[in-house]
């Protein structure tokens, strides 16, 4: 009679123990643990000999070779995740006594500077083109225009727009309750034009049969809350109609911050609008103030302009 439970291979058995370690000991969330295990699985494949896992002969050069191979053609962020996950696995292997030395320090780091890239912002006229691409004669256009106004004028994240509830709009006080990262709840001023866009959508665009208290819902039945990618899809569709390059919702958040800096708004104020916990997170926008950077530049010692 066949066993009710499939017998795991030595590799999968080790990976299952490692997954439980990540969840129970390290306290990782399930999605993060899954990513770590995926990297561990790819690395374990390189250590199989004659059907068995061989950790005893593991050397630093094997780690370097794996990182180079796994990172080839990948983004800096993906490469860094690979390195972090591999180091985590090596710590686990040492704790379990599968390797004699803690080899996590032998994993090479991935070069990357946090403030190296400039935020990719739109020109004001392109923001207007994006908004104008929403056909407000339709329910769909009313909804998308209101969402884009929240993104462009308040710098909300896509998830914050999607999670907005009817009770979060305080019409009397002219404020909006935003549920941000880390379960933070904050109240933001509601600009008149954004309020008008929301009111127009709620009066003429939101279906009477909408399910739940979520502000933005699907235009097709069943009229339930948007999917996780619904807001970004709306931005991408509007960009396509406007003849603009493909973009996501975060592009409008970058654009708002860039426009503020170029208008002379101090970084602490920009950080407050974006609701950044640390000013360092906002510092990347200092580089878009080209005129300010030019004034700070020191003359070349040789005297050349």
Give the residue, 244 or 53, on which the prediction is more confident: 244
Q: What is the pTM of this model?
A: 0.59
Cα 13 from Cα 207, distance rounded (Å): 51
Tell me: pLDDT of 293 over 50: no
Catalytic residue among 139, 179, 223, 250: 250
Catalytic residue list contains 181: yes
Catalytic residue among 41, 218, 276, 287: 276
Catalytic residue list contains 254: no
Tokens representing 281 are 């997170």
Catalytic residue among 87, 136, 143, 157: 157
Catalytic residue list contains 224: no
Cβ atoms of 176 and 188 closer than 8 Å: yes
Please compute the mean of the pLDDT values over residues 136-149 and round it to a whole number: 97
Q: Are strands 175-179 and 48-49 parallel, antiparallel or unpaired?
A: unpaired
Catalytic residue list contains 201: no
Please compute the mean of the pLDDT values over residues 61-69 and round it to a whole number: 91
Encode pLDDT of 207-242 as tens digits: 999 999 999 999 999 999 998 789 999 999 999 999
Q: How remote is the C-alpha of 242 from its chain's centroid?
A: 25
Cβ atoms of 98 and 55 closer than 8 Å: yes
Catalytic residue list contains 92: no
Taken in order of first residue, the domains within the chain and their CATH numbers are 10-106 (1.10.150), 124-292 (1.10.443.10)
Catalytic residue list contains 246: no
């Amino acid at each position: 009679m066949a066993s009710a439970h499939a017998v795991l291979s030595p590799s999968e058995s080790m990976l299952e123990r490692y997954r439980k370690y990540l969840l129970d000991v390290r306290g990782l969330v399930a999605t993060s643990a899954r990513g770590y295990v995926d990297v561990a699985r790819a690395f374990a494949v390189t250590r199989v000999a004659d059907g068995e896992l061989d950790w005893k002969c593991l050397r630093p050069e094997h780690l370097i070779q794996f990182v180079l191979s796994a990172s080839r053609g990948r983004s800096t962020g993906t490469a860094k995740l690979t390195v972090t996950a591999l180091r985590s696995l090596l710590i686990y292997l040492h704790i379990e006594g599968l390797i004699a030395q803690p080899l996590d320090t032998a994993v090479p780091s991935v070069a990357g500077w946090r403030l190296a890239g400039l935020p990719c912002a739109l020109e004001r006229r392109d923001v207007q083109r994006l908004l104008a691409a929403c056909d407000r004669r339709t329910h769909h256009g009313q909804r998308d225009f209101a969402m884009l106004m929240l993104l462009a004028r308040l710098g909300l994240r896509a998830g914050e727009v999607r999670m907005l509830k009817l009770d979060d709009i305080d019409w009397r006080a002219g404020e909006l309750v935003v549920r941000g990262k880390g379960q933070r709840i904050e109240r933001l001023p509601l600009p008149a034009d954004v309020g008008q866009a929301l009111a127009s959508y709620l009066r003429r665009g939101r279906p009477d049969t909408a399910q739940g208290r979520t502000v933005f819902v699907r235009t097709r039945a069943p009229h339930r809350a948007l999917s996780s990618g619904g807001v970004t899809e709306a931005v991408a569709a509007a960009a396509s109609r406007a003849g603009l390059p493909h973009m996501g919702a975060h592009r409008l958040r970058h654009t708002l911050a860039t426009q503020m800096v170029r208008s002379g708004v101090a970084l602490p104020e920009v950080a407050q609008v974006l609701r950044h916990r640390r000013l360092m997170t906002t510092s990347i926008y200092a580089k878009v103030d080209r005129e300010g950077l030019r004034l700070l530049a020191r003359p070349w010692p040789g005297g050349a302009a």
